[in-house]
Amino acid sequence: MEYDNPWKEALEVYFEAFMQFFFSRIHLEIDWSRGYEFLDKELEKTLRDAELGTRYADKLVKVFLLNGIETWLLIHIEIQNWKDKVFEKRMFVYNYRIFDRYEVEVVSLAVLTDDNKKWCPREYHTERWGCEHIFRFPVIKLLDYKKDWEKLEQDQNPFALVVMAHLKSQEVKDGQERKRWKLRLMRLLFERGYSRQDILELFRFIDWLLELPENIEKQFQDELAEIKEEKKMAYVTSIERLAKKEGIKEMILEYISTRFKSVPEDISSLINSIKTADKLKALFRQAITCESLDDFREVLKTAD
């Protein structure tokens, strides 16, 4: 269960990105405009009495294809460090149980996150006296991504970071080396221009997998604070440059509107009443760092 929780959360939050990253051909055939639905209760009901059990990170998702057909995707996140002799059978059993219960097309997909290079099951096959079952399923082996590390670092898909964090959690055991990689991944996280919410979600995944000893965790937090400040000030500087070209007041109003969805009339009036460039420049920093409109309003009241 060590890795199940973070994988489950990452898959739920970034399901479309997950499909695009690992199963791009399938991603192209899904009508994402119609949304998707996680069917965890249906999966639990169907597999409740299965002798093979169920994995916590397995997901059942209802999607619609571009041709209008409803399809259920059964996604297995297999997290273990040994060869599972019944994995292929489990894939087959899960698939036919769901089909038998709901009579919908079920596509089974597997992501193997173990560290066994030789194990990569792709089909379940039985045959006796001319009666034959052949069940094949697409498989992703995370270890295969190690050879494309530079490509992962350039990939903007959130699951590139998920894969890097998982691989390093398996590979690196030394505390200081783990801290170095954790900070490197955090730098990538800030450099990619993700939203604040995405940064928090992905940081939680990275933090969960790359756990550090208590004494080294304190070092990590201190160095992470420096990175945050460095990235924040670089962001502020870039906005200030743009503001000189576009007009400082207009840029503040546009930024407030984008961040808080609207610009209240009293805030707009207070901004327009400020005449000096230095005060307007200072307001840029406050617009970026204030947690709420009320906080920004209090800053404005003392600005003039």
Task: Tell whether the torsion through CA atoms of 216, 142, 104 and 28 is positive or negative.
Answer: positive
State residue 26's pLDDT score.
92
Q: What is the per-residue pLDDT across 207-257, written as a single tens digit (0 to 9) for each?
A: 888 989 988 988 988 888 888 777 664 444 444 554 454 467 777 787 778
State residue 272's pLDDT score.
82
Closest to 65 (Cα-Cα) out of 97, 98, 104, 91:
104
State residue 137's pLDDT score.
92
| Residue 88, CA distances (Å) to 22, 47, 108, 244, 293 in order | 20, 16, 11, 62, 55
Closest to 221 (Cα-Cα) out of 233, 212, 234:
212
Distance CA 219, CA 227 (A): 13
State residue 52's pLDDT score.
52
What are residue 75's phi and psi, to 5 degrees?
-110, 120
Residue 140: strand, helix, or coil: strand
Residue numbers of the chain with a pLDDT score lower than 50 = 1, 233-239, 242-243, 245-246
What residue type is 44 in one-letter code?
E
State residue 235's pLDDT score.
44
pTM of the full structure: 0.70
State residue 15's pLDDT score.
92
State residue 172's pLDDT score.
92
